[in-house]
Structure 1
Amino acid sequence: MLAEPPPLPSPPPPVDGERQSDRQNGPGREAFFDNAKLLALILVVCAHFWEPLARQPGHRPVHAAYLLVYAFHMPVFVFVSGWFSRSFTARPQQANRLIGGVLVPYLLWTTLLGGYTAWLNGRPFALDLLTPAWVTWFLLSLFLWRLSAPLWRQLRAPVTVAVAISLLAGALPLTPQLSIGRTLQFLPFFVAGLTLDRDRVLALRGNRTLRAIAVPLFACAAVAAYWAVPRLDALWLYRSASAAGLHTGYLHWAVLSLAVNAAGALLGAAFLALTPTRRSWFTALGAAGMSAFLLHPFLQLALVHRGTYSGAFLGSPTGQLALTAGAAALTLLLSAPPVARLLRPLLAPRLRLLLRQ
């Protein structure tokens, strides 16, 4: 067994509304979950760079990988976000950090990403702060989820209630405003991370049974994803549309939604069982990963705009492997603490003139 690595340098100030004490050695801040956060983030970025290929015919393996990753990567990301919200009780200082570390960055990055997209497409930019620009939906949903955290602790069966609410979303006329579809449909994973018994959650770390079945489970899921490519619309995995939005009946929507959530929970648990538990060189990258989450869309959109995905290289297996390796490397680079410190004014701006300290 390898020796415990030396202590890492202090990570940068929090950029997602988490407490500074939690980010270092405080209660609830486990290296295991920062590791999981980084690995899930790598999958998020890879899937986003695969997406233009997945939408083209003739790339079934990439499309299958895209569906497989989308089945569980955001459930894991949301679950971990719930875990890191366990200390949130809406105290004034916490509310200030939630505004400065989540809500204001949402407003800034929705404006930046929306303006950049309009510029690439040669369209006038129409600012709509109620409608997230691509990945910024997560910041808005996180703001709403964390704001509701104290309420979930008062319920006897919070996860059951959250599942019921997520199923009600299928009957609503969901719109892109406020990211309401994803906010409601991913809610059970946030509430699970927030409220499930701490010891049971931590028991996922290196669980031998889960480890034993994890690889075969992912192999079976990969085969199922390959089979599902011509049969399953990825919109089912985005968790943003209601039954009407997917042009199906509510009962069919509810059954398939439950199946999608169950698959996400099972694969997510297997993913966590395979996640390294020790603090390592990449643990701090998970803590500072919001910079990679918010920056990588700019490069992906630029590649799409330049027609890179239409070239022969990315149509080849070698090109697709290179794209995947490049996306993973980009995630690590953009998650480096120096990047987070450089972007601090946009990730966690100081609002002393706006907020009471």
Structure 2
Amino acid sequence: SAPAARQRDAYFDNVKFFLIMLVVLGHFWEVFRKDSGAANAAYTVVYAFHMPVFVFVAGYFSRGFMRSTSKFRGIFPTLVVPFAIFNALYRLLTYFNVDDFQLMGAFRPQYLMWFLVALVLWRLSAPLWSHLRYPVGTAVVLSLIAGTWSFNSDPTLCRAAGLLPFFVLGLTIRTGGDREGGQGDGRGDGRPGPVEALRSRGWTRWAGMSVLLAALPVAYVWERGTIVPKIEHGVRLWNRGYEHMGFSLQEGISYRLLAMVFALVLGVAFLAAVPRGRAWYTRLGTRTMYVYLLHGLVVKSLDYGGVLDDRFFRSPAGLVLVTAGALALGVVLATPPVVRLTRWAIEPQGRWLLKPSQGTT
């Protein structure tokens, strides 16, 4: 008889839902972080871990690229074609709203589009990591060294290199049934992997929530710069090299390692705090690419239109309204009507661009 269809893991759909909500919130809070200490603290905490965890999850669900060459056939229609469509849309927004538009930059990744480019690069590298004895350690060393390379003037390549360890960690981390990390052959000793162990214990959820809540006042005090110096903004964005941030080699490596530690601690706390069971938002977590690509158009339109410049939004009540509106936007963009209207751009029928499958090599 035919094997039963693999059931989706509600936990990871929940993880993706809450991650994409943090992405939307972070882009709205970024507008106000210089005007509000509370918004800046929340922004700092979110940016300390949300993209590293996002990249970790992307690696976790790219494990098939280590085992099957047929997976690579999906890169062009699912990543390259949506990149071309949305990069053009974001560039059009810039063309009509920014005075210093330059044709030379028309094909560079705009705003959120860096992630699609980086994901292509990461997935193309996936087969390499299964052959290394210490893949995560190697990726960490490469990330630290890459902070000195000349391509750091390009924020997309800088992020791709800086965040590489989190992708490799997701790609190779041991899961239940793995004999060794990342292989997933189902012939292991049956011991739960780190993620399964994290989500299987009830106390870890409360511990994770406590760590995330405690991080807010710490970030608030830190960002004031009265006790310890503030961290350069580019460190938490992963988009600038050491020289571009005015660091020496030792300072740059130290700050990047510190960013990795913060991302690991807060990321583990986040994964522990996410609910395990199915809920009303679980299904929405399967449509994160819709939210990711579409919400930026809304954020940029409001920003260019000056809507967010109103003084009311700088008040506590205004910030609460913006936060609620951002969450509502994230939920709406994952609903079936929006999916039906925009599927042509986000999940385009691009298979016709591929040659017939010739098997694996």
TM-score bucket of the superposed structures, by smaller chain: 0.7 to 0.9
Do the aligned residues in 1 keep the contact of 2:153 with 2:240 (CA within 8 Å)?
no
Superposed counterparts of 1:105-144, under 5 Å: 105-124=82-101, 126=103, 128=105, 131-144=108-121
Q: Which residue of 2 aligns with 1:4?
A: none
Q: Which residue of 2 aligns with 1:39?
A: 18
Do the aligned residues in 2 keep the contact of 1:49 with 1:327 (CA within 8 Å)?
yes
Do the aligned residues in 2 keep the contact of 1:206 with 1:276 (CA within 8 Å)?
no
Q: Which residue of 2 aligns with 1:228?
A: 222
Judged with a 3 Å threshold, the aligned counterparts in structure 2 of structure 1 residues 124 and 181 are, in CA distance, closer, same or farther, namely closer
Do the aligned residues in 1 keep the contact of 2:155 with 2:239 (CA within 8 Å)?
no
Q: Which residue of 1 aligns with 2:317?
A: 318
Judged with a 3 Å threshold, the aligned counterparts in structure 2 of structure 1 residues 319 and 197 are, in CA distance, closer, same or farther, namely same
Which of the pair has more CA radius of gyration?
2
* Equivalent position amino acid for 1:150 in 2: P
Q: Which residue of 2 aligns with 1:9?
A: none
* Equivalent position amino acid for 1:260 in 2: A
Do the aligned residues in 2 keep the contact of 1:64 with 1:222 (CA within 8 Å)?
yes
Q: Which residue of 1 aligns with 2:284?
A: 285
Do the aligned residues in 2 keep the contact of 1:35 with 1:282 (CA within 8 Å)?
yes
Judged with a 3 Å threshold, the aligned counterparts in structure 2 of structure 1 residues 61 and 206 are, in CA distance, closer, same or farther, namely farther
Gaps of at least 5 residues in structure 2 are 176-192, 225-229, 357-361
- Deviation for aligned residue 1:92: 5.3
Aligned partner (choices 42, 50, 53) of residue 73 of structure 1: 50
- Deviation for aligned residue 1:185: 0.7
Gaps of at least 5 residues in structure 1 are 1-23
Q: Which residue of 1 aligns with 2:179?
A: none
Q: Distance in 2 between matches of 1:165 and 1:130?
A: 27
Q: Is 1:173 the counterpart of 2:172 in the alignment?
A: no
Q: Which residue of 2 aligns with 1:202?
A: 196
* Equivalent position amino acid for 1:345 in 2: W
SS at match of 1:156: coil
- Deviation for aligned residue 1:233: 2.8
Superposed counterparts of 1:49-64, under 5 Å: 49-54=28-33, 56=34, 58-64=35-41
- Deviation for aligned residue 1:203: 1.7
Q: Which residue of 1 aligns with 2:6?
A: 26
SS at match of 1:279: coil
Q: Distance in 2 between matches of 1:181 and 1:126?
A: 23
Q: Which residue of 1 aligns with 2:72?
A: 95
Show CA shifts across 1:4-59 (max 9, x none): xxxxxxxxxxxxxxxxxxxx9538x52211110110110110010111111x3x41
Do the aligned residues in 1 keep the contact of 2:153 with 2:241 (CA within 8 Å)?
no
The farther-off stretch of 186-195 and 99-108 is 99-108
Q: Which residue of 2 aligns with 1:182?
A: 159
Q: Is 1:151 the counterpart of 2:128 in the alignment?
A: yes
Show CA shifts across 1:265-309 (max 9, x none): 111111111111112332221111111111111111122122223
Aligned length: 331
Q: Which residue of 1 aligns with 2:305?
A: 306
Do the aligned residues in 2 keep the contact of 1:132 with 1:178 (CA within 8 Å)?
no
Show CA shifts across 1:290-346 (max 9, x none): 111111111111221222232221111111011111101110110123322322221
- Deviation for aligned residue 1:118: 2.0
* Equivalent position amino acid for 1:203 in 2: A
Q: Distance in 2 between matches of 1:228 and 1:117?
A: 34
* Equivalent position amino acid for 1:41 in 2: I
CA-based RMSD of the aligned residues comes to: 2.1
SS at match of 2:171: helix
Q: Distance in 1 between matches of 2:106 and 2:16?
A: 27
Q: Which residue of 2 aligns with 1:240?
A: 239
Do the aligned residues in 1 keep the contact of 2:206 with 2:273 (CA within 8 Å)?
no
Judged with a 3 Å threshold, the aligned counterparts in structure 2 of structure 1 residues 125 and 173 are, in CA distance, closer, same or farther, namely closer
SS at match of 1:131: coil
Aligned partner (choices 209, 212, 229) of residue 215 of structure 1: 209
Please state which structure has a larger fraction of its residues in helix. 2
Q: Which residue of 2 aligns with 1:339?
A: 338
